[in-house]
Amino acid sequence: MPVITTIDDFKPIYRRRVPKMFYDYAESGSWTEQTFRENTSDFDKIRLRQRVAVDMEGRTTESTMIGEPVAMPVALAPVGLTGMQHADGEIKAARAAEKFGVPFTLSTMSICSIEDVATHTSKPFWFQLYVMRDEEYVAALIQRAKDAGCSAMVLTLDLQILGQRHKDLKNGLTAPPKLTPATMLDLATKWRWGMEMLQTKRRKFGNIVGHAKGVTDASSLSSWTAEQFDPQLDWAKVAKLKEQWGGKLILKGILDADDARKAAEIGADAIVVSNHGGRQLDGALSSIRVLPSIVDAVGDKVEIHLDSGIRSGQDVLKALALGAKGTYIGRAFTYGLGAMGQRGVTTALEIIHRELDTTMALCGRKDVKTLDRDVLLVPKDFEGDWA
Ligand code: GLV
């Protein structure tokens, strides 16, 4: 087994182990993938201020996200089809997160159901909601998340319709994979994945199949979203969903200061500055680039989190220093999960933690909660001068 020292080290193993359609699903942005690429390349433009002769003893990465203690401010993002990256993937990722002391967010479009994850974990996790046209089904989903003891609802606002990811269409993405000559050829080289999948009963969208009425084939994410997701989701509906849920609410997919103000007005507990990992509006700015403008607009009114582009502890530090209170990793844990199951997710978290801790120390800081703009060197034109 190769020595894994960075998140990128998982990728070749992940690629070898997991069927192409699921690797491609995770590794895609929409259309030209400009936003997907810039989510990471914009992090690289920010540099760090090295400081010396500072006592580095007693460092801590502990903090809170929406009032919950976290070992480091890095939550696992909701990722659709996680249970196709590895058998029982959501349960494994949730257990790794729980052991590490960071939040796990279960996607509506997960393979393992809310109840399944609750049964196999002992701490509350967060539930991500996609709003469907069928109000009864949405109400039932919310109730299921309450019954499972979820401690926050993460309401995604940037996916009323699905951004086009070319590879998913070309690969004929479904869960489970439909057997065609191309998928069979691919699966023949992914026998370990196949053997593990055969040993679990969780191979369909667990929150949907058997729960949503009149669903005969929910295997295709693109058809399901096109038919079922609510294109009329607006701020009035968000306010209603907040009432319905009644608990901590995180609004995900905010990329504009005006929308951030709306989210704060509605009384969200946190907002996630996110462009959905570059999977929705291609051509949108990277999350890290818009973060400062959103912190300026609502930093004193609502807790701000950042998602999209985080692949290292240095990225985490940069986001925190620019004013985020928490961050999310999606692909970074998915690579680990696909490559090595639960152990891979734990290793991904350990890598990010080590990078965050060492970087913080070399920037002359001991406490992640005190990170501020002072530890960074940000190019003057970083945010861009857009008209
Ligand atoms: C959402 O589920 C996505 O595929 O981005």
Q: pLDDT, tens digit, for every residue of 49-64?
A: 999 999 999 999 999 9
Q: Determine the distance separating the centroid of ligand 1 and the alpha carbon of 52, expressed in angstroms.
A: 43
Nearest ligand 1 atom to the CA of 81 is 2
92 CB-near residues (< 8 Å, 6+ apart): 86, 337, 341, 342, 345
Q: What is the pLDDT of residue 217?
A: 72
Taking CA atoms, 142 is separated from 11, 139, 151, 274, in Å, by 35, 5, 12, 23
Going by pLDDT thresholds of 50, 70 and 90, the confidence category of residue 216 is: low
pLDDT digits (tens, 9 = 90+) for 172-185: 999 999 999 999 99
Q: Is the shortest distance between the CB of 109 and ligand 1 below 6 Å?
A: yes
pLDDT digits (tens, 9 = 90+) for 79-94: 999 999 999 999 999 9
Going by pLDDT thresholds of 50, 70 and 90, the confidence category of residue 232 is: very high
Residue 377's CB: how many other CB atoms inside 10 A? 10
Which amino acid, one-letter code, is at 318? K
Q: Determine the distance separating the centroid of ligand 1 and the alpha carbon of 33, expressed in angstroms.
A: 14
Q: Whose CA is nearest to atom 1 of ligand 1?
A: 80
Mean pLDDT over the full length of the chain: 97
Q: Determine the distance separating the centroid of ligand 1 and the alpha carbon of 51, expressed in angstroms.
A: 40
Q: Is the shortest distance between the CB of 165 and ligand 1 below 6 Å?
A: no
Q: Determine the distance separating the centroid of ligand 1 and the alpha carbon of 69, expressed in angstroms.
A: 28
Q: Is the shortest distance between the CB of 279 and ligand 1 below 6 Å?
A: yes
Nearest ligand 1 atom to the CA of 279 is 5
Q: What is the pLDDT of residue 65?
A: 99
| Lowest pLDDT segment from 128-132, 222-226, 244-248 | 222-226
Mutate to test the pocket of ligand 1, among 21, 166, 228, 276 (most ligand atoms within 8 A of CB): 276
**Torsions phi, psi for 248 (to 5 deg):** -65, 135
Q: What is the pTM of this model?
A: 0.98
| Domain regions of the chain by residue span | 7-369
Buried b / exposed e along 69-89 (16+ C-beta atoms within 10 A): ebbbbbbbbbbbbbbbbbbbb
Q: Is the shortest distance between the CB of 252 and ligand 1 below 6 Å?
A: no
Q: Is the shortest distance between the CB of 336 and ligand 1 below 6 Å?
A: no
**Catalytic annotation on 86?**
no
Under 8 Å between Cβ of 183 and 211: no
Q: Is the shortest distance between the CB of 80 and ligand 1 below 6 Å?
A: yes
Which amino acid, one-letter code, is at 227? E
Q: Whose CA is nearest to atom 3 of ligand 1?
A: 80
Region 27-37 average pLDDT: 98
For the record, the structure tokens of 203 come out as: 């191979």
Which stretches of 277-366 are DSSP H helices? 287-298, 313-321, 331-340, 342-362
pLDDT digits (tens, 9 = 90+) for 258-306: 999 999 999 999 999 999 999 999 999 999 999 999 999 999 999 999 9
Q: Which CATH number does the domain 7-369 belong to among 3.30.390.30, 3.40.50.300, 3.40.50.620, 3.20.20.70?
A: 3.20.20.70
Mutate to test the pocket of ligand 1, among 131, 208, 221 (most ligand atoms within 8 A of CB): 221
The secondary structure of residue 285, as a DSSP letter, is P
Q: Is the shortest distance between the CB of 289 and ligand 1 below 6 Å?
A: no
Using alpha carbons, select from 284, 290, 296, 246 the residue that is nearest to residue 272.
Answer: 290
Q: Is the shortest distance between the CB of 17 and ligand 1 below 6 Å?
A: no
Q: Determine the distance separating the centroid of ligand 1 and the alpha carbon of 111, expressed in angstroms.
A: 13
Buried b / exposed e along 199-220 (16+ C-beta atoms within 10 A): eeebbbbbbbbebbeebeebbb
Catalytically annotated residue among 86, 276, 305, 353? 276
Mutate to test the pocket of ligand 1, among 157, 164, 279, 307 (most ligand atoms within 8 A of CB): 279
Q: What is the pLDDT of residue 220?
A: 85
